[in-house]
A and B are shown apart, each in its own frame.
Chain A
Amino acid sequence: MASARRRKPKILEHEYVPEHRVLSIEEARDLLKRLGVSPLQLPKISVNDPVAKALGAKPGDIIEIVRKSPTGGKVVYYRFVAAYGKS
């Protein structure tokens, strides 16, 4: 079974998975300041979400997602990593 772990797909590289990135503390602070919100007012993402796991994100982190949108071209979203959901 050891080889099974290695063969796990690298989901971050998949075409249909948009670009995810964990913000640094400074970036996160700037973002929250810019939007004038507390982290809890951001959309959430579960720590147990496959992408959050792959990034090694911890609860309290903010993930930046750049994805393609039919209306707006490249669109930046932010999600607050929260400790909920099934692991």
Chain B
Amino acid sequence: MPLPSRIPFYKETDVIDKIVFGVLSPDEIRKISRVTVVRGELYEADGTPVSGGLRDPNFGAIEPGERCPVCGNTRETCPGHFGRIELAKPVFIPHYTDYLYKLLQATCRVCGRITLPSEKIEKYRMIYRRLRARWPQLAKVFSERVIAEAAQATKCPHCGAQQYKINYVKPFHFYEHRGSEGPVRLSPEEVQDRVSRTQSEIEILGFHPERARPEHMIASVLIVPPVSVRPSITLETGLRSEDDLTHALAEIVRQNEKLRNIMMTNAPQTMIEDNWYVLQELVAGYIDNELPGARRLTHRRKRTLKTLAQRLKGKEGRLRGNLSGKRVNFSARTVISPDPNISINEVGVPLEVAMTLTVPMKVTPYNIEEARRYVLNGPYKWPGAVYVYKADEGRKYSLKYANREELAKKLKPGDIVERHLINGDIVLFNRQPSLHRMSIMGHIVRVMPGKTFRLNLLVCPPYNADFDGDEMNLHVPQLEEAMAEARELMLVEKHILTPRYGGPIIGGRQDYISGGYILTVKTSFFTREEVSQLLAAAGYEGELPEPAILKPGPYWTGKQIASLFFPDDLLFKGKSKTNAGDLSCPDEFCFHDSYIVIRHGRLLEGVLDKKAIGAEEPNNVLHMIALEYGNEAARRLLDSLYKSFIRVLELRGLTMSVHDIDLPEEARRRVEELIKEYKKRVYELYREYREGRLETIPGRTPEESLEIKIMDTLDELRKEVQTLAANYLDPFNDVFIMARTGARGSEVNISQMAAMLGQQSVRGKRIARGFRNRPLAHFKPSDVEPEAWGFIKGSFRDGLSPTEVFFHAAAGREGLVDTAVKTSQSGYMQRRLINALQDLYVYYDGTVRDSWGNIIQFKYGEDGVDPMRTYHGKAVDVDRLIEKARAMRARGGVKVA
């Protein structure tokens, strides 16, 4: 019969309305397959594929120009065809054995019925069907119970045959314990014979009696996938290298033919069984090469083969690697670097990247001139274009090769120009790990020289980015719809507030904080020239306010400058970060200038530090502006005032030297004394312990109590030293300013630099590992000196002794290990949570539901509040409302009774 030139494999009008999963029967496999593989070789001596081998042409066309002998298609359209291996003896298919085991336990070894009385079977069948309809999960549990009950039977209630206990030893051994005979192994053939006798009642056990026949779970015919599934690659040397699947299948074919020959020559039974088992191992390895307890298939005794299960499994498997996640076009990745001069909404894109990424631009009568310019510029001159799609001709021209002038001339509305990225385009910017939605935000393109992406420092917190070599990805949306969504929903300014905990996640860090403090601190006054510089940096264009000081000349305060950028009626009250220790005050009557008061948009009192302008600081000034005046107002503040914060540092300078952490002689002496005094207390603890006077802590041994008390004592010492150092240092030296304002470092860090490091610990205990009864050989065993157990008297300024360096390194190493372990563990937890929660959403009625409409929460968050629009979780801030009403009344705006 002549083959038609091309058999269509699908009709385009066909619609898939359901998919049924089941186990293929040998007959179905025979019907599907076009080749029976009987030869293990792949190619003849002349290089043509062996007929009846694993590269038989009937597996489908793969060479260019080849016509498929089955369907008549070429390699582009031929879908590939299956083949089969007729196994000489059946073998178990891994992963199905568990189901077979259940079935063997629950059914009669002679008649195949479930070993329960007929009435019971009928009753269970009804229950099972009802459960399946309503509670599929429970139906599974129910099946387990039925199996457990049936497995108890010692005699079949239907045919009266004796039942034996069956044992399954992974991966392929079933043993039947026939009383006196002892355990007898059941071959795949015997198992197949038994389970084929089962009837439709096995649906109670969880089987679909037609689509998943248990006897098909033992392979007697093995299906062989087409070559397109296991392509071979031709190396440069001309040698062919076959896919792992082909190798695995070839082994199976060879073993199968060997077994068939042995069976025909009436060889001893043991020889047949040995070869049969080898075939079993090969087939199992072909399906899953990581079965516990089974042999691995290898390539020349070295590399384990990647077989079917390995293709699907794991992070780079078909599911996670190719279906859940894919590679994309129109994206770029490079190192990031800071640019404090661009807007937070912008991203600096290197020229080279801008000339590689394109945006499709539909030509209209209004932009045709612009489009022509791009076409004329071509692919190598920015701003140009790379491709032109002529709608009337229905074809695409590459501007690399086409005549650009001619193309520009015949450009018509309706054509599409794929132009370079230009300023003002919207792109998505992303830094991994993408832990929250702020990890991908929309930025406006700004093309720049250089080879790095530039981003404003204020957007570092949401990305958790720094510039020690971090790289980021950029994606260009290609559809108007996608661009509009990116602009309206993903733009950076729409993410100043985080939905995680109602508060701003974008904001100043480090220099911005120190700058804010130095600008607004009471002692800062600025001349006309300086004010001009600060305001110019911020892009201020209005009038200069009245100077606060007229004699001996006009001087402005930093508070005046900051006030120029606040909304006219802004109200804010709150403690600043410096409001701590000696400088604390509870309310606005504050002589330390550490309580911030902004009224009618004027900074009257207090310094702007971390609590006012910092990132991730809920209820700060930025938060109030974003909430009450909108995201755009907050963005304007970030793009203006914040620039003057860093400019003021350039005027004044902010640095540190060793002298900032120099302690006076008196202080050093007092540190020495403190150390001596506390060491005495440690010796005293030892003495009490030896004499049995030491009070044991409930639930602890005396040794543990001693250890805890020593650690407490030494920690107390560190605290004492810390306050001492802080008291002796000038609170207005730059290091201390940074610590007090929250810009960087803390009092602990300073005291460690200036005075003493204190006790080092590993796993929350003093360092004790190393030698017997001592961590280092420099000390006596069981030394009472704290120095022998990781206590460091030295400071970073004075330097550490060799043993101190060792202890410090030990404690430092623990920190590194912790971060490494923590990130991997929390990353996995995050993945599990996202997979579990990703398709829950809030309905219009306020309930949280899953994709079936099942209710998860009756009201989102139990209060129906979106944290992003709250005052740090509170939907209404009553105190603030009262303050606002008061402020309004003071201005006579609103009458309050």
Contact = CB atoms under 8 A, between A and B. Distances in A.
A75 interface: yes
B855 A40 contact: no
Contacts of B847: 35
A82 B131 CA distance: 12
Provide the main secondary structure of the chain B interface: loop
Nearest to B137: A84
Given A35-B847, A35-B855, A40 B863 contact: no
Interface in A4-55: 35-37, 40-43
B424 interface: no
A71 B856 CA distance: 16
B134 interface: yes
B845 interface: yes
Given A35-B847, A71-B863, A42 B138 contact: no
A23 B53 CA distance: 71
B845 to A, nearest CB: 7
Contact of A40 (B134, B859, B864): B134
Q: How large is the interface on A (under 10, 10 to 19, 20 to 34, 35 or more residues)?
A: 10 to 19
Contact of A41 (B138, B853, B862): B853
Nearest to A70: B862
Contacts of B858: 35, 75-78
B854 interface: yes
A13 B852 CA distance: 36
A69 to B, nearest CB: 4
9 contacts: A36-B845, A40-B854, A41-B849, A41-B852, A43-B856, A71-B865, A71-B873, A75-B862, A82-B135
Interface string B21-48: 0000000000000000000000000000
B138 to A, nearest CB: 6
A72 B863 contact: yes
A42 B855 contact: yes
Contacts of A77: 858
A37 B861 contact: no
A73 to B, nearest CB: 8
A37 B863 contact: no
A35 B862 contact: no
Nearest to A40: B134
Given A35-B845, A41-B853, A42-B855, A72 B135 contact: no
Contacts of B138: 84
Contacts of A43: 855-856
A37 B134 CA distance: 15
A84 B873 CA distance: 38
A72 B864 CA distance: 8
A72 B862 contact: yes
Contact of A37 (B855, B859, B864, B865): B855
Contacts of B856: 43
B854 A41 contact: yes
Interface string B671-709: 000000000000000000000000000000000000000
Contacts of B134: 40
A59 B162 CA distance: 41
Contacts of A78: 858
B861 A71 contact: yes
A52 B865 CA distance: 31
Contacts of A82: 135
A71 B855 contact: no
A72 B873 CA distance: 11
Nearest to A41: B854
Interface string A57-87: 0000000000001011101111000101000
B855 A69 contact: no
B142 to A, nearest CB: 10
B862 A84 contact: no
Given A35-B845, A40-B134, A69 B853 contact: no
A40 B865 CA distance: 27
A69 B845 contact: no
B856 to A, nearest CB: 8
Contacts of B859: 72, 75
A69 B862 contact: yes
A77 B188 CA distance: 54
Contacts of A40: 134, 854
B618 to A, nearest CB: 16
A43 B850 CA distance: 12
A41 B861 contact: no
Closest 6 CB pairs of A and B: A72-B862, A72-B863, A69-B862, A71-B863, A41-B854, A75-B862
Q: Which of A76, A82, A84 has the most CB of B within 10 A?
A: A84
Nearest to A67: B862
Nearest to B142: A84
Q: Which of B134, B852, B853, B873 has the most CB of A within 10 A?
A: B853
A72 B853 contact: no
A75 B852 CA distance: 24
A84 B138 CA distance: 8
